[in-house]
Amino acid sequence: MTKLYFICKRFFSIFFLIWCATVFTSIMMLVLPFILLSTWVLKGKKSQDMCFIFIKGWAWLFSKLCFFPVRIKNKELVDPEEAYIYVSNHNSYLDTFVAVMAIPKSFKPLGKIEMLKTPIFGLIYRKIVVLIDRKSPESRAKCIQDLKMELASGQSILIFPEGTMNRTDTPLAHFYDGAFRLAIETQTPIAPLVIINARNLLSRKHPLDAKPGPLSAILAEPIAVDGLVEADLPKLKEQVCQVMEKLIVANS
């Protein structure tokens, strides 16, 4: 009985994973022409705002068709007209679509250049993401300048300060300095965001255990950085980490 249950569970997980990949790709193909047209007709923040109308539609449809209902908490804490540096935990491939649903207005995510190799998604990714090649000092330097330009134009950005998916058993992996240095240098408030239950539903370590289920996205009170200097970076990073960790522990 136990062996039969395991076989049936694994079969369902594989079928569900194929279904999610099919839905993901199909919706991406549907919105791709509109995103390409938006980036051709419009420029700058207006282009990103228009793209995100379709990206949010993609996220909503993916959530419904793949049975990942998303509950968003504390959305009222952020001003949709203000630019923030959103920082989020990162546990799963599901984090991207949850962040799109949770953040009120358009934003520019910081993304790895390797994702450009993904069929269809890579075309959209190129249009809406600030790309970084972590192996290249030149790319890292250009990325920082690009992010600063986006913030100066009033565009929010999203950074996963853990750098990659958290594979540890702790609520958060080590935070890199980049998001916090950028916040101090541009005097832009940080808006913490935590995503709950994504790892349980689609783990990077065990993708064949994928299953449908609810997700939560919880926003915290934005943290002002007015007057902070580089010497304050460790304290700011620790403050944000504590806020996010408390939310994760309290809601897991």
State residue 169's pLDDT score. 87
Q: Is the pLDDT of residue 70 over 90?
A: yes
Q: How many domains does the chain have?
A: 1
State residue 1's pLDDT score. 54
pLDDT grade, residue 127 (50/70/90)? confident
Q: Is the pLDDT of residue 94 over 80?
A: yes
Mean pLDDT of 190-213: 93
72-81 pLDDT, tens digit each: 999 999 998 8
**Between 223 and 111, whose confidence is greater?**
223
Rg of the Cα atoms in the chain:
18
SS (H, E, C) the chain: CHHHHHHHHHHHHHHHHHHHHHHHHHHHHHHHHHHHHHHHHCCHHHHHHHHHHHHHHHHHHHHHHCCCCEEEECHHHCCCCCCCEEEECCCCCCHHHHHHHHCCCCEEEEEEHHHHHCCCHHHHHHHHCEEECCCCHHHHHHHHHHHHHHHHCCCEEEECCCCCCCCCCCCCCCCCCHHHHHHHHHCCCEEEEEEECHHHHCCCCCHHHCCCCCEEEEECCCECCCCCCHHHHHHHHHHHHHHHHHHHHHHC
Q: Is the pLDDT of residue 3 over 80?
A: no
> Rounded mean pLDDT of the chain?
92
Instruction: Lowest mean pLDDT of 45-54, 115-124, 189-198, name the range.
Output: 115-124
State residue 196's pLDDT score. 97
pLDDT grade, residue 146 (50/70/90)? very high
CB 158 within 8 A of CB 151: no
Cα–Cα dist 172/241, whole Å: 8
State residue 118's pLDDT score. 77
Tell me the residue range of the domain where 71 lies: 2-251
In this structure, what are the phi and psi dihedrals at residue 157, rounded to the nearest 5 degrees? -130, 160
Mean pLDDT of 227-238: 96
Residue listed under structure tokens 């007015």 = 226
The CATH number given to whatever domain includes residue 142 is 3.40.1130.10
Mean pLDDT of 38-50: 90
